[in-house]
Structure 1
């Protein structure tokens, strides 16, 4: 049986799993809408990176004795629907797509920082910090892409 700390960590990890699921979809959608082949490839790779993050977090949940099946929360469903809607409206406006992805990553960083504050076990904290640092690196990359969209 899981103790309360493990259950709190599992709940927080489920939120990060869903955050990464949203990022997988968002970056994949962005890659499809971009005209620039090189930038599209980078966004597709970011989608793959977030899929790896998601799987790594699922492993953490299983290690803690939790179920890795995700229950999509309404807030994440609405986030995905909004991103789909905006992608459709923006067509292939590269700067707008980059801005949308950047905003989504700002939310992801906040989610990751919240999990770190919940004091997860050290090995999970290291995984989360590594993923967080890569997401922050992506934010810097996105800013550079925005300065030179073509």
Structure 2
């Protein structure tokens, strides 16, 4: 399969990843409001900050290909946060719900990065950024999975 090389389509692919990072950051921030665990709060804050850094890196790459990034999330992201809020209201274990949502979201993010890298012919610089972010997302998946396995957070 030939990878897409059109700069406008590449910018759009980066924009979609940018929006997903805004959504993920908001999910992590939303989880901060729903947990009382200091360990989980610290983790969620670190992840929200990471996603803000990812967004800045993607914005820079979009500018590098002479396009203008849009700083918005998606409707799907808003729905995910609302769903998580509802689930935590009716759950006996809010932290478990938060971790489940984080794990699902991070797995989706990893898949979206992998699809984009397979579909588009990114420059070496952009590819380095995406690969670095993907590695960090995969590390987060490992951490969230291990936290889910603990009885207390």
Q: TM-score range by the shorter chain?
A: 0.7 to 0.9
Gaps of 5+ in 1: none
Q: Taking structure 1 as the reference length, what is the TM-score of the superposition?
A: 0.88
Contact kept in structure 1, 2:110 and 2:134, CA below 8 Å: yes
In structure 1, how many angstroms separate the alpha carbons of the residues matched to 2:130 and 2:56?
12
Q: CA deviation at 1:81?
A: 3.5
Q: CA deviation at 1:47?
A: 0.5
The alignment yields a C-alpha RMSD, in angstroms, of 1.9
Contact kept in structure 2, 1:30 and 1:87, CA below 8 Å: no
Structure 2 counterpart of 1:13? 14
Contact kept in structure 2, 1:33 and 1:92, CA below 8 Å: no
Structure 2 counterpart of 1:139? 141
In structure 2, how many angstroms separate the alpha carbons of the residues matched to 1:12 and 1:27?
23
Structure 2 counterpart of 1:54? 55
In structure 2, how many angstroms separate the alpha carbons of the residues matched to 1:62 and 1:129?
19
Structure-to-structure mapping, 1:26-45, within 5 angstroms: 26-45=27-46
Structure 1 residues 33, 69: closer, same or farther in 2, change over 3 A? Answer: same
Contact kept in structure 2, 1:21 and 1:54, CA below 8 Å: yes
Q: Taking structure 2 as the reference length, what is the TM-score of the superposition?
A: 0.86
Q: What are the superposed Cα offsets for residues 59-81 of structure 1, whole Å, 9 maximum, x if unpaired? A: 11011111112455443443343
In structure 2, how many angstroms separate the alpha carbons of the residues matched to 1:101 and 1:120?
28
Equivalent residue pairs, number: 147
Q: CA deviation at 1:104?
A: 0.6
Contact kept in structure 2, 1:17 and 1:54, CA below 8 Å: yes
Q: CA deviation at 1:6?
A: 0.9
In structure 2, how many angstroms separate the alpha carbons of the residues matched to 1:36 and 1:71?
29
Structure 1 residues 43, 91: closer, same or farther in 2, change over 3 A? Answer: farther
Gaps of 5+ in 2: none
